[in-house]
Structures are given as structure tokens and as C-alpha cells.
Structure 1
Amino acid sequence: MDALEMLLQRRSIPRLAAPAPSGDVLENIIQAGLRAPDHGALTPWQFVICEGEGLTRLSTILADAAQTNGADEAAIEKARNAPLRAPMVVAVIARTRPHDKVPTIEQHISAGCATQAMQMAAVAQGFQGFWRTGAFAYHPAVREALSVEGDDQIVGFLYLGTPDCAPANAPKRDTSKFVTYL
């Protein structure tokens, strides 16, 4: 699949199995993230890779956050199982810093671009993934557990692994609904 076709056919694959990317493949995924647009060369990203025991720790962090919110047992269990939907989860954090020419929002967007680049690098190498954010990305206990402070944000959790289902067809969208010209 060439690069344009990959972008035009991009779909999240919600069911992922082992193996997760590793070795040179994982290094390529990380390097793709590090090539995201980066005004001012601030490198406003951090990637926290969770696999094996790291997935178990993330599972506990999310379950504890759900419990702190007063969730019922079903919601706590759902939070506990969320990271286990893939053999690897990469928490992508926008690590911002004050800059007179690069507003915080640009740094957050840059981290989002890094996430997309990492997902596409995984697909290009035969793996798949999906990007989730959700309420836990903003939960104080989750932020604290991942050392997210101040204007820093968790921009998403990138789930990666081997596809365990066929992707749905990507719908062709009517560009006239999204594009105007000046």
C-alpha cells in the first residue's frame, strides 16, 4: 500500500492482538512521531509506552481513577480492562513550555500530529491501532500518575498491535461539506 492510499484508507482497528510492535519497527514508530511538525523545534512530546507490566500499571491507574469518581463496579472493571484491548498502549503527552512565538495550543497540536504519525508508521509496517482520549486523559489522578502538570496534556492513548479483525471500508466523504475557498 502506498503512502497516499494508506492515508485515504485510514481506519481505526478496535480489536488488536499480540504481537505488539517491537525492535526496529517500534523504533520507526517513535521516530515517525518525532518528525511531527514542530514550530520552534520545541519537541513538545513525551511517549509513555505501556506493555506487559506497564499495561497492568495503566489498568490500575484507570481503575483507581474510576473508583475515585464514585463509579460502580461495572464502570471500574471497564476502566481496568481498557488498556488490555491491545498488547501495547502509548500515552502521548504534550510537554509544553512557555515560548513567545509558539503558543501552547500549537504544542498540543504538534503532539497530536506525532500521535497520527505514529499510528500511520505502525500501519505502514503491518500493525494497526486506534487512538483514544476520553475522560481519563483529563482525570487528575491519571495526570498525576503520568507526571502531567500545568498546561501539559495527555493528547491520547495510542493502542497498537496486530489486527484481530478486518477493517471496515473507509467511507468516501463529500469534500464540499468541509471545504470552502476564499
Structure 2
Amino acid sequence: MPDPNPAALDFLLTRRSRPAKTLVAPAPTRDQLMPILTAAARTPDHGKLEPWRFIVLEKPALARLAGLAEARGAALGFDADKIEKARQQYANADLAVAVVSAPVDSDKVPRIEQIYSAGAVCLAMLNAALAVGWGANWLSGWASHDRGFLAEGLGLAAHENLAGLIHIGSESCAPPERPRPDLGKITDWVDT
């Protein structure tokens, strides 16, 4: 018989991301952020490959990235609304953690599994932030996939990608519940 943890299961069954645009100051301090980063770093990583890393983006860095998103969007010929949405994602934030997917050469662990591990880090960080009482949201967007933005804005190497931006701050309002997947439509049971 397993040793249950009802509080953890209840949290997972009721967790809800907070829209990034509803997060306000204060954001976690460095000391408050460390347990969240520590929890995220406990994600399965295939024998200590650690195929990911973190970049903590504070308000001045986010303001710089907002300007870069605007410039890159214009250079790429995007329409004004698409550019503004990306700019606001950075300009309106007080703190975000960039989770960088940084696969390493391995004869044992395929690159795709290392990328999946970076995605799992994003969810672990999001859940850890929510669990300690912060509002949090996992975002991406076109700038997250633009090589020019990633290299100039975050200093990412050619083999690295952005798995996600985890925005963390104080809740300004509680989000309403939303419809959840119908398990009957997405689950197959195989017994033979």
C-alpha cells in the first residue's frame, strides 16, 4: 500500500496558473526564489545530465527585453498587435525565470528526452511558486523562439532554446476555474 500525501494530491487537483498580466509587485526576493528554483532543479534529469539552466530576469532586464522584442518584431515585419503583445509580456512583468533547454552530448540519453526534461522543469517551477503562495504563469511567445532575440537578449548558445518563461509575482485577482479535459476522450485503457 502506498504512503499517501493527500495535501500534495489536493494541491495538484486544484492548482491553477495565474495569468501573467494579473501578476503585480511584490515579486519574490532572491531568498524567497531559492526554494522554488531548488524544487524545479529536482526534476528528473537522466543521471545528472542537468540539460537545462535558469536565468532570473528582474525588472531592469525585463524592460531591456521589452525593447528588444519591439525591435526584433519590427525587423521581422510583424504587425503592431503581435509586437505589442510580446513587448508587454516583458514590460509588465516584475520577475520571470527563463528556463533554458541546454541539451548535452550523451550516448545514453536522446536529445528529445533532455528537452522534455526542460519542459518538466517549467511545470515543477510553476507548481513550486504556486505551492508557496505566489501567482505564476508559464509563457512563451514568438520572441521565445526567435534566434536573434535569444542570442542578443539572453545570451543563449546556438544549441540552447527557451523552454519557457515562468512569471512569478503577487496575485491581483483570483482566476476563475476553467473547463478541464474530459478524461474519457483522452484516455485509452489497454489490458491485452
Q: TM-score, normalised by structure 1?
A: 0.91
Post-superposition offset of 1:105: 0.9
The one of 175, 178, 186 equivalent to 1:167 is 175
Q: Distance in 2 between matches of 1:47 and 1:177?
A: 36
Of 64-73 and 38-47, the range deviating more from structure 2: 64-73
**Alignment partners' CA distance in 2, 1:8 and 1:171:** 13
8 Å CA contact 1:17, 1:162 repeated in 2: yes
Aligned to 1:11: 16
TM-superposed CA distance for 1:23, in Å, is 3.6
Letter in 2 for 1:100: D
1:24-39 equivalence runs, <5 A: 24-39=31-46
Q: 4+ runs of 1 displaced by more than 6 Å?
A: none
Pick from 166, 189, 192: which aligns with 1:181? 189
Counterpart-to-counterpart distance in 1, 2:82 and 2:158: 28
C-alpha separation between the residues in 2 aligned to 1:91 and 1:33?
A: 12
Give the gaps of 5 or more residues in structure 2.
Answer: 1-5
2:86 matched residue in structure 1: 79
Give the residue type in structure 2 aligned to 1:8: L
Q: Could you tell me which of 100, 122, 132 is aligned with 1:115? A: 122
CA separation of 1:134/1:65 partners in 2, compared to 1, >3 Å: closer, same or farther? Answer: same
DSSP 3-state at the match of 1:161: strand
Aligned partners of 2:180 and 2:139: how far apart in 1?
A: 23
Deviation at 1:83, TM superposition (A): 1.2
Distance 2:188 2:79 in 1: 47
Q: Residue 178 of structure 1: CA displacement? A: 1.7
Percent identity, please.
Answer: 37
Provide the C-alpha distance between the structure 2 equivalents of 1:147 and 1:61, rounded to a whole number of angstroms: 13
- Cα distance per residue 1:73-131 (max 9 Å; x no partner): 44433322211333111111111111011111111111111111111111111101111
Change (3 A) 1:174 1:72: closer
Number of the residue aligned with 2:97: 90
Superposed counterparts of 1:41-80, under 5 Å: 41-80=48-87
Residues paired across the two proteins, number: 182
Q: What TM-score, normalized by structure 2, do the two folds share? A: 0.86
